Amino acid sequence: MNENKAPAAGEPILVTGGAGYIGSHVVRDLGEQGYRPVIFDNLSSGRAEAVLYGELIRGDIADRERLGKIMRQYSIRSVMHFAAFIQVGESVLQPMKYYENNAFNCLALIKTCLENGVENFIFSSTAAVYGMPEKVPVDEKAALQPINPYGNAKLVSEMMLHDVAVANPDFRYVALRYFNAAGADRQARIGQDYRQPTHLLTRALKTALGQYPELEVFGTDYPTPDGTAIRDYIHIDDLAVAHLLALEFLKTIKQSRVFNCGYGIGHSVFDVIAAAKRVSGIDFPVVQCARRPGDPAALIADAGLIHRELGWKPDVPHLDDIVASAWNWEKKLAASRKH
């Protein structure tokens, strides 16, 4: 790479994992808002064709030397970090995989940022840091008690960011604790496309398309109205908007923060399945299975803080609208793979 390459128009933003589900939607918004995304992704789960704007550089975040060169070449002052493993069940079975990539590699990235003058860091965190909260909706002051290695590794990263920011006044961060990201780009340009999807909505719609013989429901004996787990589903477009607001907050207010990203509305597994059947018009088979380890009964966000401090005003679409955007994407994806 040419260390002396002059930056193109638009502020360069380094986006690790920017070819993945959430990262690619944020890259889309960055490009549409006039930024210059520089995407660094090993494509282990991301897709090159999901990158609608900017420059995609294939590489692994464990490669500190290469990341440092990229930061210097593009004069990076802001980083958005999405590169992480995300499967809760897998984290229980392979905890070291999650600590190594989601925590240790994050530490290496933070160190590289400090060495190269990065000032703003937006971290892709998770509601899993709350574990099984005593009350819902849960706000940012709730006890942090993760119940799986995925949540533990994310919490470790948050703690590192906090301590590093205290020790380095010129380095600031926003950690966004996602609840359940769902849906797809409303023009069906990009969406979720994992090789082994675990998200409920994606699995449901792929089952409707006949790509799976049946949809498994893990746990119907939770202390909830219909016995299935309840989650706060947020449309991916609203989640993407939160990242750009967080970036502007860091650049103008220059203070570190942690924010929940959710609607404050809970939907059960059976609610999502019913919506998937309504939208698709297909009554696909569903089987009931035992609970998965590490799954809390209910996670619903209190997102008052991000509303007040970032001025985040999400669209809050009806569940069927979220499902419809995902259904349009899944149909497009299926059609493209028939040719």
Q: What CA–CA distance (Å, rounded) separates 315 from 238?
A: 7
pLDDT tens figures, 83-97: 999 988 899 899 999
Residue 310 in any domain: the answer is: no
Supply 248's token pair: 């502007």
Residue 45 lies in a domain: yes
132 within domain boundaries: yes
User: What is the per-residue pLDDT across 65-83, written as a single tens digit (0 to 9) for each?
Assistant: 999 999 999 999 999 999 9
> How many independent structural domains does the chain possess?
2
Active site positions, annotated: 150
In degrees rounded to 5, what are phi and psi of residue 298? -150, 135
At residue 254, does pLDDT exceed 90?
A: yes
**The pLDDT value given to residue 194:** 82
- What is residue 298's predicted lDDT score, i.e. its pLDDT? 93
**Using N-to-C axis directions, what is the helix angle for 149-167 and 105-115, rounded to 10°?**
20
* Amino acid found at 223: P
The domain in which residue 109 lies consists of 12-183+233-261
What are the backbone dihedrals phi and psi of residue 40, each rounded to the nearest 5 degrees, phi first? Answer: -120, 115
Tokens of 86: 């995300």
Mean pLDDT of 187-207: 93
Tell whether 88 and 217 lie within a shared domain.
Answer: no
Query: How confident is residue 244, by pLDDT bands cut at 50, 70 and 90?
Result: very high
Are residues 147 and 294 both part of a single domain?
no
- Asked if the structure places residue 320 within a domain, the reply is yes
151 neighbors 131 (Cβ within 8 angstroms): yes
| CA of residue 123 relative to chain centroid, distance | 9
Tokens matching residue 111: 């160190």
In a domain, 46, yes or no: yes
What CATH number does the domain containing 223 carry?
Answer: 3.90.25.10
pLDDT at residue 4, as a whole number: 29
Taking residues 210-215, what's their average pLDDT? 97
The answer to the question of residue 63 being in a domain is: yes
Q: Give buried/exposed letters for 322-336 (b at 16+ CB in 10 A, else e).
A: bbbbbbbbbeebeee
Give pLDDT, residue 78: 98
26 lies in the same domain as 96: yes
Together in a domain, 213 and 256: no
Nearest to 167 by CA among 256, 99, 101, 102: 256
**Which residues, at least 6 apart from 294, have a Cβ–Cβ distance to it below 8 Å?**
88, 89, 91, 92, 147, 148, 150, 151
Whose tokens are 């128009």? That residue is: 9
Q: What is the CATH number of the domain that holds 62?
A: 3.40.50.720
The residues, any chain, with a CB within 8 Å of residue 212's CB and separated by 6 or more, are 203, 206
Token output for 252: 């103008």
Q: Are residues 27 and 101 in the same domain?
A: yes
49 and 36, same structural domain? yes
Residue 66 sits in the same domain as residue 100: yes
- At residue 246 the predicted structure's pLDDT band, cuts being 50, 70 and 90, is very high
For residue 245, pLDDT over 80 is answered with yes
Is position 131 within any domain? yes
Each residue's pLDDT tens digit, 110-142: 999 999 999 999 999 999 999 999 899 999 999
Q: Give residue for tokens 């991000």.
A: 306
Q: Is residue 284 part of a domain?
A: yes
Same domain, 125 and 136: yes
Q: How far is it, in rounded angstroms, from Cα 32 to Cα 243?
A: 14
* 33 and 137 within one domain: yes
pLDDT tens for each residue of 25-48: 999 999 999 999 999 999 999 999
SS3 string, 271-325, reads HHHHHHHHHHCCCCCEEEECCCCCCCCEECECCHHHHHHHCCCCCCCCHHHHHHH
**Residue 1: predicted pLDDT:** 32
Both 251 and 103 in one domain: the answer is yes
214 in the same domain as 112 = no
Residues 224 and 156 in one domain: no
**What proportions of the chain, in percent to the nearest 5, are helix, strand and coil?**
40, 20, 40
Q: What is the pLDDT of residue 7?
A: 39
Residue 312 half-sphere exposure toward CB, CA atoms < 13 A: 29
Give mean pLDDT, residues 131-154.
95
